[in-house]
Every structure is written in C-alpha cells, then in structure tokens.
Amino acid sequence: MQKRIYGIETEYGIIFTPEGRKTLPVEKAIRFLFEKLITTEHFLNVFLENGARFYQDTGCHPEYATPECASPGQLIIFDKAGERILEDLQLYAEEKIREERIGGRLSIFKNNTDFVGNSYGCHENYLVDRDVDFYYLAEQLIPFLVTRQIYTGAGKVFQTQDGIHYCVSQRAQHIYQKISGTTTNDRSIINTRDEPHADREKYRRLHVIVGDSNMSEYTNFIKVGTCSVVLQMIEDNYINKDFTLRNPVKAIKDITYDATCKRRLRLDNGREYSPIEIQREYCEMAQKYIEQYPVTDDHKKAVYMWQHVLDCLDTDPDKLDRQIDWVIKRRLIQSWVDKHKTTWTDPRVLMLDLQYHDIRRERSLYYLLERKGQVERLFNDEEIDAAKSNPPQDTRARMRGEFIKLARENSIQYDLDWSNIRLGNLLNVRVICNNPFETDTEKVAELVRTIQKTNLRKTSLSKLVIQS
Amino acid sequence: MKTNHQSERGNESRARIDLGADPMPLYMASSAEQQKQKQKGGGGDEGSGKGDGTQKLAEKGEELKEEMDNLLDEIDAVLEENAEEFVKNYVQRGGQ
C-alpha cells in the first residue's frame, strides 16, 4: 500500500504532588485536565479541532490519539502537537486546582513505565489492505520489531537486586507474547485488535504495541518511517530472507539489557545474528527496494537515517547522542553523575530518567537539551503549533476538524467517533465516512448550513443518515 | 520538514565533540580528566610553535566544556528537589 493512514496513541503518566494536607487522587486530577475542553461530547472523551482524540484510558492515563495522518513525518508533528496540547491543558488544570485551594503540582510524563513495574503504552497504527494475510505479515514483521529497539528505545534506568542497569527500551520488559488480543495483561508485540475505523472489507488495522514513547523527533520519525518501509516490502512480497527468531519474547528482553546491541540471538534456523546484523539485513533490502519501487520522500529519508544509525551503533553508539532517545538520555545522566562525582545508584538518577520525559517544557530535561541545541530536530515549533488546531489536510481528519470548528461556532450539538459524525439536538443526523482518505470538507459545511436552515437545534427531524 | 539531512549535521556535531575530548568524549570524562585535557590543550598553544589549528581545537574544547557545565547547572536548577520521594511516589496503574 503506497498511500497509507498512520496513527499513534500515547498514554501519559500522571501524578499530583501535594503541598500541604489536602491531596488530589489521580482520578480527580485527571478530570481537571478536561476542564478546558468545552464540548457537547462525553466528558473525558473528546475529539479536538486538529482531528485528534483525547480521552481517559485504562488505569487513569490521559491518552492522546493523533488524527489520521498521511505520512510518517506528518504523524510525528501531530504526536508532538499532542504533547503541546496536553501542556496547555495542564497549565489550565493547575490554575483550577489552585482555585480549589489545593496546594501542589501536577506532573505529566511521556514515558512507558513507573519504577515498580507498571507500564502504559505507545501504540502505532498502520492501515493495511484486507487482502494481505495478517499472520504472514505479523510473522515477517516480528523480527524487525523485536530488534528495532536499538534505535527506537527511549532508555530506562532499571533497578534490580544486582544493581542498576541501563536498558535500551522502556517497554521491552513488559512484553509477554508475540501476538495477542489483549493490551493490559498478556501484552504482545503485535495486537490483533482489528479496528480499521474504515471500510472493513477493504482495510484492516495493524496495531503495534511494542514501541516506546519517544521524546526525540528523530527517534520517533525513524521508528515509524522504517516500520512503514518494511511493511510495504512485506506487502510487495519483497522480503526474501527469513529471520524468524526462536524465541522473540526472550530476545526482546535480551536486547534491552544489552546496550552494545551486539549480543547474538538465535534464529529458528539455528543461525545466530546480533540485533544490528538483523537490522542491517532489513536495511539493505530496503535500500534496494526504494531504488526499484515507488516510495515517498519520507521513506527514502527514513532509509537513509536507518543506515546512518546502524553504522553508528556498530562503531560507537554514543555518536547518536543527539538523535536517539536512549543514547541522549544516557549521555545526560552520565555527565550529571560525573559532575556530582556520584554513581548511577544515586537515587536522583531515577529522577533524571523520569524528568527527561516531563512534557512541561520548563521542567523537562529533554526540552532543556532541545533549547540548548543539543538534540537533532526534524521539525520546527511553528509546524507543531499549527498542528494543535489544524487537522491534516490530506485525510478524513480534515472533515472532522472542519466540522468541529463549524459546529462550535454555530452551537450545534454533536457527537463523534472516528468514522461517524452525529449531530442535531437528538444526534439524529448521522454522517458516515468510511473512507479515511476522504477530504471533502464541503460536505460537512453543507450539512451545517442545512442544519441551520431547518433549525434542527430546536426541532427534531426524523432520523437522517448521510453516506459520505 | 528541513531539507538538509540531519544525520550529516549529526556527524559534524559529533566530530566537534570529539575534537575537544580525545580519547574520551567530554561528557564521559570525569571532571578531573576534563581539567587535565583543558590544561593539556591550553598549554600546547603557548610558545610550542604549534599552528592556529591546535589553538582553535583547544578553544573549541573549552567552549564545549563550558556549554556542558552550563547545561549541568541548569539541570540541577530544574531537577525535582525531593527526587527520592517523588520517584517513590510515582506509581502508575497499568495502562494498555
């Protein structure tokens, strides 16, 4: 599939630190985050003007799902825009909390674990053709997904009885299955939940739940860009090598503990390869593939970056201390440890790890590095700010975003999900948009005009369904 | 999106860091070693007949060290004061 829809769902960690006697349980703290969002939709579950969805998810995590995006680059901009939106909501929430005379501070982290073994996810979604054999696709993709953490990992200081380890990935320790249908217990590499939010006869969803949440734009882009290229190669039957791992779930854990990225893994055919070697094989195929097949500029760019990071990982991973999250964070902590003439067992080291992921830019260590020009950027603040309120122009999100703006301006009641718009005072007019590539905003504008004419806000019409 | 490829710039910046910190990247070296490197670099320029190049490298190294020192000071300024307690209290419910 050359034209594809991409999406990322990010669950954020949240905590309220009280100052004084009054405290605020997380269930309540999270409600304050939604205060600023005025809508006729359900509380704690809303669509935003940029087409994204913001809601409270399992385990009381605020979750932001990007709108449907048409390229990896666009997706990363909208994922970043989600951080900024959440930061705005956080500032507003803090004000409201102060008004309630509760002293303290709200903190929100874009990471995937606490330090006692709980995990919350970052899920990538790729729209794929219904014709493709899902299990074939999954099996082909798994060795790639297991080993890619060497350049997609966000890094984690991990305390065990033997001491402190620095792991490559946040998420790897929390994966127990290759493929499964659940996301909270037996977490897997690929989840089988098949919600394409589109014509089910044409499309299905590939739901990758093994990834880390990334702060670095570079890391985030290469994560989605390379996966997208590999996916396209699988769809085109281009992959002619078999890297099936004997034990992928064990491999994913072995890799995260090995910051050299060179420890060998056993394949099903008895051969042994290091994660770098497996990634190199995929990367070399991709280099040939992009010469022979039509691909997008983002794909070419991702393959170029891919080769670069593998070269660096092979010679000296520290060369990636401006690009790849786990290396950036390790460098930061090491410098700090040296300055204070302390060791990695210093309890403040765990705080450094956590605070790297703070989304509040004035406190976040990642954003401190960004302000100092110490990390590589792919996008600029203007692009990211624009994505806070403007949907992608080349997907269905454009219609949704446009509709939300019009409905708010005209005080029209509405309710949304990914492929439906319901409106009118009984929500009895329904627009179905099953094609995620559809961008015709004139349809929604016309609908809003009709509603105004018939004054549906006050009177109820009989049920009306419009197929878009 | 920027058109020039960032990994090329990544290489340059890397080279920059290594210049000042051979054989160990500056941020990996202990402060005592950094001091030594600094002295070595500074001493080499004066009257040793070495060209401008060496001096420039030393200056670069100096600049980078200062940059890193400033950065670390800023980290200390924003780092959560009750770090140990904060981390202990940071318990999340499992998500998806």
pLDDT tens per residue, range A231-255: 999 999 999 999 999 999 999 999 9
Element (H, E) at B9: helix B6-21
**Nearest Cα to Cα of residue A49 among A62, A38, A60, A63:** A38
pLDDT band at residue A334, thresholds of 50, 70 and 90? Answer: very high
Chain B residues in contact with A383 (beta carbon < 8 A)? 1
> Could you give the C-alpha distances from A56 to A7, A63, A184, A232, B90, in angstroms and in order?
18, 6, 15, 33, 19
Name the residue with tokens 């959440």. Answer: A86
A-chain CB neighbours of B67 within 8 Å are 372
Residues with Cβ < 8 Å from A74, sequence gap 6 or more? A6, A392
CA–CA separation, A356 and A368 (whole Å): 9
CATH level 3 topology of A6-386: Creatine Kinase; Chain A, domain 2 (3.30.590)
Tokens 């966000």, residue located: A154
A374-409 pLDDT, tens digit per residue, is 999 999 999 999 999 999 999 999 999 989 998 888
Is the Cβ of B35 closer than 8 Å to some Cβ of chain A?
no
Least confident of A37-46, A91-100, A223-232, A370-379: A37-46
Burial of A79 (0-12, 13-18, 19+ CB in 10 A): buried
CB contact under 8 A, A58 and B86: no
Identify all chain A residues contacting B80, using CB atoms and an 8 Å cutoff. 351, 355
Determine which of A14, A222, A318, A362 to mutate to test the interface with B (most B C-beta atoms within 10 Å): A318
Q: What is the pLDDT of residue A468?
A: 55
**pLDDT greater than 50 at residue A58:** yes
Give helix A347-356 / helix A325-339 axis angle, nearest 10°: 140
Report the residue from B10, B71, B92 with minimal CB separation from A376. B10
Q: What is the pLDDT of residue B51?
A: 58
Instruction: Match 């959560």 to its residue by tokens.
Output: B80
Share of chain A above pLDDT 90, in %: 78
Q: Chain A closest CA to B60's CA: distance in Å? A: 16
Q: Which helix (H) or strand (E) holds B86?
A: helix B83-89
pLDDT, average across residues A115-136: 94
Domain ranges of chain A: 6-386, 397-467
pLDDT at A66 over 90: yes
- Whether A57 sits among the annotated catalytic residues: the reply is yes
B-chain residue closest to A123, CA distance: B96
Q: Among A2-11, A266-275, A458-467, which stretch is predicted with the lowest mean pLDDT?
A: A458-467
- pTM for this prediction: 0.88
> Measured between alpha carbons, how far is A77 from A87 in angstroms, rounded to an integer?
15
Q: Which residue in B has a C-alpha nearest to residue A62's C-alpha? A: B95
Cross-strand pairs, A107: A15
- pLDDT confidence of A262, banded at 50, 70, 90? very high
Reported as a pLDDT band with limits 50, 70 and 90, residue B15 is very low
* C-alpha span between A236 and A51 (Å, rounded): 31
Banded pLDDT at A40 (limits 50, 70, 90): low
Q: Domain ranges for chain B, please list them.
A: 2-89
Is ipTM strictly over 0.95? no
Q: What is the pLDDT of residue B13?
A: 40
Convert the pLDDT of each residue in B27-81 to its tens digit.
333 344 444 444 444 333 444 445 577 888 888 888 888 888 999 999 999 999 9
* Predicted confidence (pLDDT) at residue A7 exceeds the cutoff of 90: yes
Instruction: Flag if B72 and A339 touch (Cβ within 8 Å).
Output: yes
Residue-level pLDDT at B18: 34
Q: Do A323 and B1 touch (CB under 8 A)?
A: no
Q: Which of A322, A344, A345 to mutate to test the interface with B (most CBs of B within 10 A)?
A: A322
For residue A465, the model assigns a pLDDT of 67
B17: confidence class by pLDDT, cuts 50, 70, 90:
very low
Enter the tokens of residue B60: 């670069």
The most confident of A127-136, A439-448, B36-45, B53-62, by mean pLDDT: A127-136
Cα A443 to Cα A436: distance, rounded to the nearest angstrom: 15
- In the sheet with A45-47, reading across from the earlier edge strand, the strands are A45-47, A53-57, A61-65, A6-11, A122-129, A203-208, A188-191, A177-180
**Cα–Cα distance measured from residue B44 to residue A295, given in angstroms and rounded to the nearest whole number:** 53
- Average pLDDT in the A137-145 region? 96
Q: Is the pLDDT of residue A195 over 70?
A: yes
Instruction: Say what the pLDDT of residue B60 is.
Output: 84
Token digits of residue A216: 């670095």
Residue, of A162 and B8, whose pLDDT is higher: A162
Angle at A140 between CA A139 and CA A145, to 5 degrees: 90
